[in-house]
Structure formats: C-alpha cells, structure tokens
Structure 1
C-alpha cells in the first residue's frame, strides 16, 4: 500500500521540489558506473554516507548533509522521489521557496541525528532522502490532515486504488516506522526506521510556525483540515463498483 497522488493542487510552481528531484536523480546517475564494483562503491559510501559511529567521534560530519542525496538503488530512489513529488509541492506553496528548502534540509539533518541517537556506535552507512521527506510528510499532516490521497493497494494479483484522508495514510506510515524501529535489529536491518520517525516528528515541529501564521486551530476550523482551495478531481478516484443492469 503506497500513495500515488493527492488531490491537493499547489498555487505556485514548486521550483525547489523540481530542483531536489533533478539533484537527487543526477547524483544517483553520477555514481552508477561504480555500482558493479563493490569495493569502489563501499569506499564511495564510506566517504559520503552518514556513519553514526564516525559522527559520534566528530568525524565526517559532512555525511549528515551529503547522505540526503544518495540512494542505494533504483527502487529506493523512485520511492523517495514519488513521496517528495506528492507531498512536497503543497508545503513549498505555503512556506515559500526558500522557507521550504530550509525546512527540507533541517528535517534531513534532524533525521540523521535521530538515527545517531538510536544507534550511535553503528558503522553501517546510511543513505537516502527518506528522513527529509519524512519531515515533509509530517508537515503535510499538520497543515492538510484531511486532504485526499489516492492509495494503490496491491494484494498478490489484485490492484485497487482507494481514496483516503491524508492523516490515515501518514499516521499509519509513522506507526509502521515506530513498530519496525522497536523490533528491528540495527545490525542486520537495512532501513533506518528511527531516521524516518525522527524526521517525521521534526517536520511536524518545524511546520508549527507556518500553521500558527495561517491561524492555528482557526485555520483547521476554516478549512476543516482540507486544502484551502478546490481539490483536484480524478476520474479513477470517483469510480465505483460497476452497475449491472437487469435484462428484461
């Protein structure tokens, strides 16, 4: 189950979201020539990824920033860029271009610190924009909790699109990160769940000033948690079980 789009159009061109998409994809393509060479790839990630043990010792602090633009594979990259595309434009619309860029970077840095706090002695390189994008999701939850999101549900051979309020999808995702973070073994797990959870919480906190500027609880009362403008309508999202007419 994962989101494929929301019904929340933006009022301005999301230049920062576009730039982040291009930047992440471009950097990923730049190191594809060494992907088949495990030794060179390990050296590359060792230099530019976030390694909690190194940061704890005051070394390779740049990894907190550079790791946000590295990805471990195509699915990792495409999944993150999809989430950024769906949820990022609306925050940029409310925060402005510079404000959203600062928000994104601070969310990513905070997510990195959350992972370090959870496992400070880890020598496993951490890469991905997931922490920063988790912050975007947290900010989206605060500002647009009832915006409609289309979810693609895959059950073996069954593919179905459902439309649900954003808060259900986002809270489920956050709860899943907490659940997996508690149960997973940090030495063998391949996902930085605490970075995701930490980035999400930091995103909510960083979005509070914007929420207050918009009116706080009065903003929720005015919009009822929905986007502050007409929602986008999709034909597929309005589809239902087809009617079967009786033959006379």
Structure 2
C-alpha cells in the first residue's frame, strides 16, 4: 500500500474546514476516548477498567448496523454497561438495562469522530490532510463540510445494508474520508502525490493520484470481498468502498466546474511562495 505524505496541488485559500475536522478528531480522541485518557493518566480506574469503559463508550457513541436499519437501540442484554468481573479478572461483563439512551441516526454523526487507537486516528488524519484540502478548496467550505458528513452517513448505512444483522460497532472517520478520496480522484486524477511504499523501505515516489487512490480503492475492495488478506481485523472495509464510490459519483457531474474553480499555477513563483500556496 502507498502511504501518501504530500501532493503537488496549489490552493487558493486556507483549508479551514479540513483543519477543524482534524483538530476535532484529535481533541475528541485525547479528551474523551477512555483508552487515550488512560494512557495519559486521566482515567482514575486504571488500565483494566478503562478497557471496559472504552467498550461501553463505543457502544454508546458508535454506530451499530442492526440499530441503524431498525431505527431503534438494541434492547437490554444486547448492549449494556461494561464492568470488571466480580472475581477481579480483567474481563468485562454486560449488565442491563443499558445506562444510556441512544439515537441510531445521530450515532452515525458521533461515530465519525471516534477512533480506537492512535494508529487509527493518525492514519485517517493523514489521508484527510493530504487530500481533503484540495477538495474543500474546489467545493467551498460549507459544501465540503456537508459533502464530508453525507459521505460518512452513506458509508455507514451502506455497510449496514451489506451486513444487516451485525452488532459490531462502527467508529472512525474512514467512511467520510473515503468519500473525499473518491472526489479527489475524479477531480484531480493527474495530480502528483509523494508516497512511501513500505515494501521498498519507505523510499518516496512521485505518483499520479489515480494510481495512489485507485490502488487504495482496489485494496479496500479486495479486503471487503475476502479476496485479499489483511491483518486489520475489525476494519469496516465495506464502509470504505461505499464511501469512496459515493464520493466519486457525487463529484462526477460537477467535475468541470470543480476543476475550473481552482487557482492558476504560478510557474515562476519563488519556492517559498509555492510551498505556502500548497497549504504545507
């Protein structure tokens, strides 16, 4: 897989919404996610208790496919408060009734700002930072924000339709970001992207966006269909596929307008000014 670290694609204005989305995702993870607060010493009950708290936290604020399709919270017994077992072991037991009331539709929104680990968070924010700024630049800030959220909702419900009986919790911005990647591919297929390839000892390569994002999409599809082999258990690859396809199709009718709406490259601009114009 190619890890993108930068693209050569000038901006005409600062990507404020993209920066805010990244900031909110980081703040939510650091301040509210139990696993992060435990690592930082902000959780008073210790590491074992934080594991149980994190499971309860994700069940409350994450999206569950079965709940999304039924439109109601799972009954007591399917989800509930998770605590340490009475015998003192580090496992968690499910007790009922659930200590929270959940709106399945709103859970899609809250789930878009939750991440299960630093790796999960930083990987998503890397892709959003590299590709989101140009999509925002061409769409405009408000349209881009609405587009981002719409991709997240479509990805979550699309995954739910593919696995209607699943009670696994969906968390993460991946579905929404996948939609942004799909739009970027449609609007900027020839944009140059600097990427690192792990199997080649992380040597940087210049590649067109259609190769980087096309390969990413094919990989997600193969994992989703089970053809590919992945060590990332629990990853909702179906949400990535649905979000990407929706983002590409949503941008396709407006591709000429989006391409024409950007800045004209400055061929002879000083390098310092060029770097500033790219947003990096």
- Global fold match (TM > 0.5): yes
Q: What's the offset of the Cα at 1:64?
A: 1.2
Partner residue in 1 for 2:57: 44
d(CA) in 2 for partners of 1:81 and 1:21? 6
Question: Counterparts of 1:2-151 in structure 2 under 5 Å?
Answer: 2-30=3-31, 31=33, 32-33=36-37, 36=47, 37-59=50-72, 60-151=104-195
1:3 match: secondary structure: strand
Q: What's the offset of the Cα at 1:212?
A: 4.1
d(CA) in 2 for partners of 1:112 and 1:131? 7
Is residue 181 of structure 1 aligned with residue 224 of structure 2?
Answer: yes
1:206 match: secondary structure: helix
Q: What's the offset of the Cα at 1:38?
A: 1.6
Q: Judge conservation of contact 2:64–2:168 (CA < 8 Å) in 1.
A: yes
The RMSD of aligned alpha carbons is 2.5
Distance 1:227 1:86, change over 3 A: farther
Distance 1:72 1:227, change over 3 A: farther
Q: Judge conservation of contact 1:139–1:207 (CA < 8 Å) in 2.
A: yes
Q: What's the offset of the Cα at 1:41?
A: 0.9
- The TM-score with structure 2 as length reference comes to 0.74
d(CA) in 1 for partners of 2:270 and 2:245? 30
Distance 1:97 1:24, change over 3 A: same
Is residue 171 of structure 1 aligned with residue 214 of structure 2?
Answer: yes
Any stretches of 5+ residues in structure 1 without a counterpart?
220-225, 235-248
Any stretches of 5+ residues in structure 2 without a counterpart?
40-46, 73-103, 272-280
